[in-house]
Structure formats: structure tokens, C-alpha cells
Amino acid sequence: MRHRLTFLFVSFLASTCLFAQEPAVPGAWPQAAASGALQASNVLNPNVSAIGWFQAEAGHRKPGPGDAADDGDSFQMKEVELGFQSIVDSWARADFFVSVSREEVDLEEGTLTWFRLPFDLALKVGKFKANFGRFNRIHTPETPFADRPLVQQNYLGDEGLNGSGVSLSWHVPNPWLFVNLDAEAISAPREDENPTFGRAGQKDIVYVGRLGGFTDLSEAWNVTFGASAALGHAGEEVDEISGSTTTLRSRLYGADLTFRWKNIRRAIYRSFAWSTEALWSRRDATVADVEDSHGFFSTMDYQFAQRWHTGVRYDYSQFPNDGRRHEEGHLVYLTYAPSEFSQLSLQGRQVRRADGELEDLMFLKSTFNVGPHGAHPF
């Protein structure tokens, strides 16, 4: 049996070699094909990038409901995010982001975007982070923080609200300011993937929309604002007596506001950003009972020298299935970036959990980037 397997393996290798030497076109020179002289040059390869995220942590974790996935080790190579980005053809581009962590290899995003459509439209299909608020779309290694804000964690989960689906984006024509409307439909996440939405059936869909705007207030100041909504199912309730099932619904509404300042005459030395996102949840706890809850975070970042940033964040969050209790937290950080491609950030976070317990943690977050990782949304 072993001999047969070996023979099969050797035959397979031999046939692959033979096949490789076979000219692709009858009459073509096999040497040229083998030497690669007729291959397209590397310039048509996609842009390949990798972002490493290492983190050291000190303190005792007292995990909240949204923290279950965090392991809390002293040293954590949290993940490597691999990016492959390229123009596909005359009409579309593709972007793939794969995260490799200790637990899993996960396709974070994989999208095909048609950006040459008429009427100021763009259409995206694939797996992506939903356009709910601003923060949800940012991959954690690229945020200034060692964690995700409590409200994001509690309502949108570790990886944010994401899924496979379709996204249509429209630049709303008007002469005054930039306005964009996004309408998305994604397959509903499973209940263990997302704290707000679940499935009543396999074909369940979460509908997401965001109306966002941007305007310059002056050469240095600008403001970004948006209103979002996500509608889907929370799961289903089974009547134990009749055996009938009723679908439970979940509705999430969000608002975001970001002010930025940067003197463009000294753009690489000083900048300031103040960003706030709030969300409100209406979730059917049972057929007869709706749970209302909310939360928000507000953060300021000040770049005080070419390579230095400092910032603070305040978190307040209730829970999708419990609007009577809340937790709140504070985070401060000091970040040094030797270049645009690496940074080291010392962070301290205190969270008062819903049961009144205090959790104090220190983080040292290090991210490092090789390759031309594409820019993230402004």
C-alpha cells in the first residue's frame, strides 16, 4: 500500500514536471516558457502588504460580556493582517484582507468594487465591514487603541459588524458639501459572531445604511458627520406550548461626528482630531418585550510633534439585552511612531464593569507595516 502511494506521488510529480514543460501553445518554445521570459512582469501583481500587531499587557482582567475572546496573556502576537489589493480590469478593483491570529485564519474583507458606474454610484460585493458609523470599518491594528471601545465591543462584536453581501454607494449631488449615501445588505451573522444580530433562518439579511457628510470649515478645520441604521433579526422565540416560532427583531441606530484640525503649512508636525460615536439599540428580548439600550465613546487625539501622538477616550456602554446596567471606561495613550510604517503605543485603561468592579490594564501596542497597505477611509 505504501509503495502504491509512493508510486502515485512520484507519478504525480513527474506528470506535473512534464506538464510544466509542455508548451502552452503548439509550436511555442518550451525553453522560453520555462525561463519565464514570456511571463508578464511583476508590475501586474497586486500590492501585497502585511501589518503585524504585537501587544504586551499588564493587570488583571475582569472581562465584561463583550470581552470573552480576549486571552489576556502578558505577550500577545495578536494578528498579522495580510492585504492584497489591485485593479482587476477596466471597471473594478479587488481588496482582500486576511487576518492570521493564534486562533484562526480569517478573511476579514474580500471585495470586488465597480467604481466606474454612472450616476455617481459604486457597487461592492464580497465580505466587508459594514458602513455603520466610522469606527466599525477600521481594522483594529490601524486604530489608535489597543482595544475596541466598549460600545463597539458590546454591540458590534470583536470584529465589528461584517458579513458577505452587497454595498451600493451614491455621492448625493449637491453644490455645497460632500454627501454620501450607502445602502448595504449582508448575510446575518450567527449569534456567536455578533451580540446584536442573529438568525431566524439561513437566508436572513441585515440591512445597513449610512448617510454621511463632510465639509471643510476652514483650510485647517473640517468636520465629518453621519447617521447610520442597521436592521435585522435578533433570533427567534419558540412557543413551548404551541411549538410555533416568532422572529425577534433588532434595530440599531448610530450617529457620528468628527472634527479635525491640521495646519497644512506644518502638516507633518501637528494635528488634532475629536471623534464621537453614539448608538441606540431596540432589540426584541421576547415577543412582548423590547429592550432599549445605548452607548457611546468620544476620543481626542493630539499630535504634538512629528513622531508623537497622545490621546484620551471615554466609553459608556449599556448592553444589547440589558438597558438597565452599564459599564464605563477611560483610556489614555502616548504613541511614538519612528516612521509612518511602525509605531509603539503605551496605553492605560480603566473600566468600571456593570457589577461595580474596576479593571485596570496597561498595554504596550506595537504595529508594523510592510508593503504598500492601501489608505483607509478618511
Residues that bind other proteins (CB under 8 A): 90, 93, 113, 115-117, 120-122, 171, 177-178, 180, 214-216, 219, 222, 224, 262, 264-269, 306-307, 339-341, 372, 374-375, 378
Neighbours of 213 (CB within 10 A): 16
CB 130 within 8 A of CB 163: yes
CB 60 → other proteins: shortest distance, Å? 39
Residues 6+ apart with CB under 8 A from 192: none
CB 224 → other proteins: shortest distance, Å? 8
| Residue in the block written with cell 483594529 | 140
Instruction: Select 316 or 368, whichever has its Cβ closest to other proteins.
Output: 368
CB 98 → other proteins: shortest distance, Å? 21
CB 123 within 8 A of CB 113: yes
CB 306 → other proteins: shortest distance, Å? 6
Instruction: Select 203 or 265, whichever has its Cβ closest to other proteins.
Output: 265
Cell digits of residue 351: 473600566
Instruction: Select 174 or 202, whichever has its Cβ closest to other proteins.
Output: 174
Cell digits of residue 90: 477596466
CB 195 → other proteins: shortest distance, Å? 31
CB 133 within 8 A of CB 155: no
Cell digits of residue 102: 493564534
Continuous segment of H or E residues that includes residue 154: helix 150-156
- Separation CA 259–CA 1 (nearest Å): 70
Strands 221-238 and 358-370: unpaired
Beta strands in the chain (DSSP E): 47-58, 75-87, 92-100, 105-114, 121-129, 162-171, 178-187, 205-216, 221-238, 245-261, 271-284, 290-305, 308-319, 322-339, 342-352, 358-370
Distances (CA, A) of 6 to 9, 16, 101: 5, 15, 35
CB 239 → other proteins: shortest distance, Å? 49
- Separation CA 2–CA 14 (nearest Å): 18
CB 377 → other proteins: shortest distance, Å? 8
Instruction: Select 224 or 281, whichever has its Cβ closest to other proteins.
Output: 224
CB 246 → other proteins: shortest distance, Å? 42
CB 169 within 8 A of CB 202: no
CB 255 → other proteins: shortest distance, Å? 18
- Separation CA 18–CA 16 (nearest Å): 5
Instruction: Select 113 or 293, whichever has its Cβ closest to other proteins.
Output: 113
Instruction: Select 93 or 251, whichever has its Cβ closest to other proteins.
Output: 93
Instruction: Select 65 or 371, whichever has its Cβ closest to other proteins.
Output: 371
Q: How many residues does the chain have?
A: 378
Instruction: Select 19 or 378, whichever has its Cβ closest to other proteins.
Output: 378
Instruction: Select 153 or 303, whichever has its Cβ closest to other proteins.
Output: 303
